[in-house]
Structure 1
Amino acid sequence: MTRRVSYATKFNLRDELPGDAKLSANDEGASSSSPIRVQTGCPNHDLVHTVSPGRFGWDDGHSQSIPIRRSGTHFSKDCADQSLALEVGSEPQPSTSNSRLAPTYLHCANTISNTYTVPRTAVPGLCHVQYTSTMAGTGSLGDPPVAPVASVSCTALASAIEFVQSLLDAPASDQQDVADLVSMFHEYRPGLLRGLGVKHRSELLCLFGTISDDRDARHYHSQCKGRIRVAPHGQGYWEEVIEVANEMDRLGHVFEERENYWLMRAYLECSRSTNSAASRDMARLFYSRILGQAQHHPSVLIPYLDIFLAHPSAPDFSEALDLLCTSIERQDNPHRDLVHLFWKVILTNGSVLPSAYKSRVLDLLLRRISHFKTTIRSAVPVSLNDLITAFAASIFPCYRTSALPPALAPWIMNCVRASLAQTIPIGERFDNLVLLSMWLLPRELSKSPTLGAASQSGDWRALIGLAILNRSLGSSTAVTPAQPDMQDVVRSFWLSWKDSARGDRPRGVIRAVTIVFLQVAIKVEDGPLFDGCMDYLTSQQAWNAREDGHETAQVEQLFGTVADGLSTFKDRTWMKLPSLLGNMSHNSSQQTRYLRRIFLRLAGHDAELAHQFYLHCLSHGIPVSLEASVPIIQCLVFQQRWSEVIPFLQDRRLNRGALEQVVEAILSVFRGARQESTTPIVAEAVGDALRRLYSTTYIPDRLKYPARFFFPVMITSGRSQQAIQLLEVFARNNLVMFTPRFYLRIIQTLLRRRQNALAVKTLELASSPQDKQSALADLRRKTIRGLIGNGALKLAAQVESTHPDATKRIPHDRLSYIGRCGSRSHKPTLLALLRLVSRAMKPPVRASVILATVQKLVQNRSFALARRLMKRSLGHLDATQLTAVGNVYLHAPVRYWNMRNGRLVRHVLRAKDFLVQEYGFTPDRVTVNIVIKTMLRWRGFMNTRMVRSLFDHLIRNGYPASEKWHTGNGVPFGTLPGGVTLDLSNIRPNMSFKRHVRPLYKMFIKEMFLRRDSRAARRVVGILKEEEVLATERKEHREQARRHGIVKKQRRRMLALAKGKSGGRESGG
């Protein structure tokens, strides 16, 4: 029986979201077991669905949401304003293939559609129905079941399918973020997977596995890996692999080898995180589906065994162990990861293995012992690590040593066979394997086996135990036991090594092992053990080496280790080491190598100790070559002990390579410390060394900047002539090394020291064709301007006639014109001075031109023209520039007029007040110096006591003087406040030693000497020298910080560039 229940209200069916279907379930014909039929009254679109209310717990009088699916088609506008009807009647029987979900969902024929929940204001007694609209006659119950999904747009689903297809089909122009793909997969999962083809679903599964894999399984990787951008340490997407596989299984897909591999990996990872036996069963199932030899490929077998061998209590452990041993037996050279897994099982699960499995493993390894490949490098000495690696290489060829001579191979083979021989108890043999696995797998946590006395495997246990101990002591994270306990452990290994001594031990093995014992003795500060090792080496004649480079390199390393112990055990080793060096039968080249290594290691610990040992060797008659002394010379250079460095530098017997190392160290010290000067002897010696090295060859790139920095140092050190001669020699072979900017720095340094002729000669060298002509022209113009400023008008005219392009009529050359206007013998006329003023005010008006013009005017006592120019240029000068111009004006009467005493003081003070009132002049510390200079020239009024009082007053107001110069009242001369004073409250506090302090203190020194107060003058000289040193240190510190900042910035730029290149290669790959 079917009863119709009318719809309570009408709703509008729109393009995207239809209205709310509110249906009443309270009709008298409906019951909890009666089926419900929902349909629309639209003639074009029929919404039909039958559902059993009882399946949703729908009782009479309650509301319930019924999930019904809507197809991808949209309602047309003529469907609007239609009503729904609810029919209650008998439930139709669903088809067999969809019996699980047929009463609940309407499936549209061959169409994956979206679900819409249509909200509307609730009405009592009505239920909210989620419904699906289909074209009339297209509904079918024969489609596969689909799980309910969230409400999405059909257009968005189509876009998602198209995006995934384009991603899997062809390379995309840009990489896509994996997070976007995963979120899209979860949002559209059922519809997305059904909308994709078989090939696309398979490739999507492999893609999720590929981006989750950290192993080398390239033949299983998806080709779309390069199109996905994955975080460096992102999470795995193994759950997505399983979800894709489940959907493919519902669709009847038969998995191929690639899908089986990734499903095996996915279930293995699930088992790793959850320790689920069901996941391991599924992994075993998919592993069994990988047919043929592919099961034994390392990319398949290793992750499979890694999970099953991690649980020794699991029933699958023995089967996995058998598979591992079988795989190793079948291969002559097993994969390194497979061997790593083998040692991991021995290390972590060896204590729980039954004796039968231990015996099988030992027999397997004993059968695998064979000759291994040896590679010898003359420059690399044999180490203890090489010997232990050779132990493993004799069993598994995947291990290779970097330096092992063939002569040591028989001893290695005998030692391995003796340690794994069947005559030894199984427990002892297996403990030997555990020791080797501890060395090979340092990151695996394990418990050290109990090591008792072992007659046949004493060398094996001593070597491996010593190597493990040395590595643990060298680790920064290692927890070091108490020192006496550690010494006992080391001595036990030493006794085991000595007691198991046999006559067939090669000297290379003895040296390699004893070197590590010496290193451990130094670390635990065991002096008796250190002495015992040295005596043992002497008894075994291990200090002697043949002519071949391999043994010489090992003895050199041995002496270096003994040198490390010299700083710790100086009393024990100080006398032994020279005797060993003097009594050995080695040639001069070997002795040079040994001494050089000793000096290098000592210098790394204590430079002074290295120098003392050098003198100690000379006092004992040991010939120390100059080449061996290079580390000592470098230490002296870094300490700037130039008196001891210069004799080495001037010795003509020093070869080119050693001389280059010393010169490089000296130049790096000057450049790093940013020193501006040195003693003339040092500058001359370094200049001669540079000439000897690079007078006919190209200067290396690493020395380009240090060498360029040293030229101004030579000039300021009083060796200007030698510096320019050296520059002339270098310029012949290193054209691109010297830039116009470098030449400008040299010329400016020379001009400051009044070396005008050398400045012109330097300008002639700056003619490289690689430089821009504009830069060279600017260099010539600045040189001419500097020459004019120094009064070298003839040289300036010479340069101008040689290079006419340097004086083109541009605004910058107004300074040169001002400098050439007039001379000492021919003063300029009034007309010429008026022309200067008019030229200075031509646009563009520059502060430097105004300053030079005012200086020229006051120099010729044209103060009225100077004031006129200052007034006209006020709008073009800021406060700092106006202060500089005003100071030039104030200083003119002191320099160019004959006024003195009180008249000069009054004139300067009135001029200062005039500038402040009329032009807004702001006094600074240069103004203070000018005023003090005028006061000190009033010698009839300023007596000795007043000069001292004025100096103390300046110290109280912030001028520098350390406390050691104070005699009383916190000032150098002990005067009381209130004597001669100046108001410095409005002066800015920042102070420059070069511009403010040094000129002021020199004035006081001169005036004190003129007043015959030499004691006070010498005190100010001491203060000045001390402050000059401090100012130089502060400047060098600033230069060092600036240099470090430049280097750090360059390093960051290089790292960013390298990172960009590596990223480009990865994206390209």
Structure 2
Amino acid sequence: MSPQDESTPDPLEDSDACKAWTSHSAVDTLRRFLSSANLASDHPLVYSPTTIRSLYYCAESRNQLAMLDSRMLTLLMTLFGSLSISPRTSIVYKHPLASRFLDVCARRNHWAFVLKVGRYKAESGMTLQDSDRFWLMRAELANVRARSPLGPLSRHAYSAILRARTHYHIIRRHSRHPEVHAHYLETLLATLDPRLLDFAACDLSFLLRNHHECHPRLQRLLYRLVIQHGGDLSNRSQEAILAALWTRACQTAGGTSNLVPENGLSHITCHDCILDATAIARSLSTTLFGFAGRLPNDESVNSLGYLFSVFSPAYSLPLRWNSLVLFSIFNASDILHFNGPHWTSDHTIPQVTSCWKVIFGLATVEKFVSEEPSLEFATQSTPMEGVLETTRTLYQLWLPIIKPRLVSRDLACAITTSLLRIACILVDVTLFYDCQDLYRTENSLEGPPTSAQKHLTAQYIAATMCFQGPRPNAVLTTLEGFSLDTEQQHQVLASAVEALAPTDASLAYTIYSIAQGKGTELDPGATYALAMSFARRGAFREAVLFLNDGRFSLEKRAIVVSAIAHSLRENPRIRHPRSVFVAIGNELAALYHSHVPPEHFRGHLEQLFVVLAQHGRGSQLFPVVLSIFKRLPNFFQPGFFVRYCHMLVRHRQFSTASKLLNAITSIHPQIARSLCIFTDRIAMRTKAFRVFKRITPLRGPTSLRLSSRLRCRPLAGPPLDFSLQELLKSGRVLAAKRIFACAAATVSPRQCTVLGNIILHGVSRQPVSRNGRRVRKVLALLEALVKDHGFRPDRVTANILVKAMINWRSAVDSLRLRELFDQFIRGGHPAAGYSPLRPPFDTRRTHFSGSPGFSKLPPFISFEKHTRPLFKMFIKAFYLCNDVEAARKVVGILKVEGRKSAIAKEVRQKARLRGKVKAGQRNAIPLDATVSSID
């Protein structure tokens, strides 16, 4: 057996492989494949998985597996394990040659072979490596899913999970890759077995205690376990998870004493990253699990560390578990069904637990209401009532904490900010006035304003404008009551604009105008939020005003343009002033003239180019399209060029359309050819004759070589037919005529007719400005073929001529079509209940000028080759002429003749079958003769 190249699959199967090798060649080939030199080679030996398994089985049948050492068996298990999972999965134990096998074979499961190799390695007394145990664990878990996909666990499946758990417990301390742990835990959760759920809880608690960073995938599994399966866990499992979280909290804070300060919650202060309940909840989550792009600063961790005391063993298990449930519901990426006891208030809730509940409850409500647009959410009475009731309950729980001033000023401002934001989204006037009292209480306290207080003032201004309308004087009064410092007032206004922009762009623009009236420029972040709000709502006139802001980065300008394109795509019928598209065109030319846009922006960008071409900006943006097309020829979809060219032609931008056709000819020749015909027709109607000179002929490299090769090496049969078709598709009519002239003298008359029909059909499809000219060209070519080369027209020739004449609509109207159809019926075509003496339309005999002599055609008529295509052409032509009655009559005739043809075809098949049976009986040898010959 010779090794194969990376892209060449090995055709050997198991049985063939066993026969092909001698007693020592199979194991030697396998050792050579698994050697270190082969793995390190730039061009390694690569065999198909079937061949490798055959090598292993051959070595096993001859008791030669002892020649494979521990490293080779590990590589074998790793290779087949890597081939059994998705190639997109990133695992540290993957085989280096696994990616090369993707071109050799399709992905399939090889877990049975992995278990076989692993069992042999263990029985041989070899030490199992971590990678061996990982692939054995994956193989056992795959067997579990195969044995019990939906129903309860069988005894064998439960045993497989126990074996997988044994391997997992050995490697879990060494490996921190999420794929090692996640697949095992997901399998346990999918079983819904209470025993296995307790196993998952214990294993998760081990990871939380021993791994400093908890991967987001493992966090999602923890949230799923707590929310969906928390009610099925035993008290011991719940205690294990809570103890692990308490251990992490103590490690984060630097000790238990830092989590239980003497001054309670009043020391908690908010910083720049902690301005509302959502920010506090995110900071707590990031601090606890220690896995994020940027961790909070040390001051933030220390100030919020006391809240982690909700996991302290000093509190009861139900209180701590409910705190974890709130924590999990907020951090879960999707809405999960909660399975467990609800929060009960029959007993006294500790102060820190109440604060924890308010923070994560409000953060969850904000997360829920921010996913729904305010107008759509307000129309859903049932969800809104539930959210309102939850928010008011949290507000009532917050009052006993805020009134005695048991918390710091910053934390009180952050909670009030979230309450105001929820009141604006839910349009709850009662909650707004309650929060107004809280705001006045916080604003009356002495001391320098903090970031949390600035954020609260901005949210209060936004809420006031939502409930009381745009009142500039009230805004100025609130600003003066907050601070007389101009810089701080500007920061508050910028925060108010950012708060109002997602929900009400007009009110946000009012605050922006107030800031402009005070003679100041807001932060680029506030201006960007306002521009995005206008762009998403279709207010392009206001959105393009912000594109000229020099403080916007290139990325932000591209995102604003993308939002405008998305809005145009969602609402294509809304009309906008021309000045808007001028500004958008200038911005696109500045953004993408020198670099390629991102891949995800392709659909929006294509729509934007088409819309701008509709508004006369095609010539301005064509250099941008050409620049992107030259850098990435496959960036635009082929359908985009069709839509773009149609829009350019319809709006009389022929120069740009011709440049587009010349640019895409090399990449999309078929599309360019069809668009060239369309452009020529529209240009002739509008008398734009210079367009023809700007469009180059669409000739591919194949057609340019065909004529010279055919002159040196003449062809016959199907290759000659294909060559003529390729020449005609490329517009090389003269070359096709030359090839036909050379071949006409050497082929049979029947083949000459076939080649002539190919040329006639190709000429009838050539792009010309007028259909009358096409008819005259086809008739002149037919006359030349008959006169010079002895061409004999047949029924296919007649169909080609009829198709060319039907397309000449200025000369062939509905009456002429009826006369022409009756003439074909008189010529011998079947017509159901009609006859040549009584045609369907009963028109008089007419002779068209220049029409072919249909009476000289061969008498044989095939329904499939001649009648059906002809009648379909007439049906389409009648519909285009708005002669529905004639079209329906031809459809009826076609149906009747189609049934007759099907019956006749079936009769012929049965007769042919009977003839074969009779022939077999005549040629059969009699039985007595056979017996006598044997004797």
TM-score, normalising length from structure 1? 0.43
